[in-house]
Amino acid sequence: MRSLVAVADTESFATAAAQLRTSPSSVSRHVADLERQLGARLVNRTARAVTLTEYGARYSAFARRILEEIEQEDGRLTGLSKSVAGPLSIICPKWLGSLALGDAVAAFAVRHPDVEVRLELGGLQERSYAFLENGFDVSFQTRPLRDSQMRLRKIATLPFVLCASPAYLDARGRPVAVADLAAHDCLTHEHESSWQLDVHGRRRTHKIARSSFSTNSYLALQRAVVHGRGIALLPVASAYQDVIDGRLETLFDGAQVHRRSLSAVFGPGEAAPPKVGALLDFVAEWLQEHPMPLLPPVLGEGAGGP
């Protein structure tokens, strides 16, 4: 199409080729290819002049409109690719989106009104790259990344805490040492087979032989603990209010539970698109300015012995 339009403007294969920075034979071949495709002669070639046929004049006008639309759309897309604008689809676990991360994404949407934000809670699949296949640009996750082709950026560190309800502890007793957990009902998040605790500077591991209750939702897990079903490892940000209000108690004074990283995963490439980079910068800064709540010292029994 570019070759035909150049020939129409210059009435010369050589001059058209010079404008397009190619050879006259290439321009002639392009026009001939169009003629074969359309089944009609577009150009009259003589030793003295090159003129358009009736079909050539009509098709070159059509080609000119198409090329102008392509250039306009190219310009628009180039502008979008360099600006913080356009659709941005995000997916994250329900418990994260219902807490600080949801607030951070909402604040980002206010800061960048030209970005059309879509935030979906839940629905994450085991395959780390599945979110791309489902049309999402960014996935916030707390589990390890297994696909090395995906890009990952650590956003924050999430503290966890072992909790039980007062009613459960009254009925079953409070564990004093990590080894005591073997005699208790342990409730777990999906695929959770052990708990890592640093007690007085020593790493302790409790392997969970049998889970009394398991779920893929920290919110559901927390409700089971509040109702007295057993002991569970919960995100501090989620359990905070129930601990403050007395519905939950934390275990092992002096023990630090192994923390997990909150990471943003996005598609492969040398650099993230501007809107993705802006989101990650904003969320990381927002979480620093609005840190996760810290729980007070453990109240009750237990010295957190080995």
Predicted TM-score (pTM) of the model is: 0.62
Residue 301 included in any domain:
no
pLDDT recorded at residue 295: 62
Give 292's pLDDT tier (boundaries 50, 70, 90). low
pLDDT recorded at residue 161: 86
- Among 113-122, 286-295, 296-305, the range scoring the smallest mean pLDDT is 296-305
- Domain with 273, as residue range(s), is 86-157+261-289
Residue 93 included in any domain:
yes
Could you tell me the two tokens for 249?
């108690």
Question: In the chain, how many domains are there?
Answer: 3
pLDDT recorded at residue 203: 79
Assess whether pLDDT exceeds 60 at residue 104. Answer: yes
In the block, tokens 């072992």 appear at 162
Residue 256 included in any domain:
yes
Average pLDDT over residues 22-30: 91
Same domain, 133 and 275: yes
Assess whether pLDDT exceeds 50 at residue 302. Answer: no
Tell which wins on pLDDT, 192 or 5: 5
- Of 81, 103, 136, the residue at which a domain comes to its end is 81
- The CATH code of the domain that includes 270 is 3.40.190.10
Same domain, 72 and 129: no
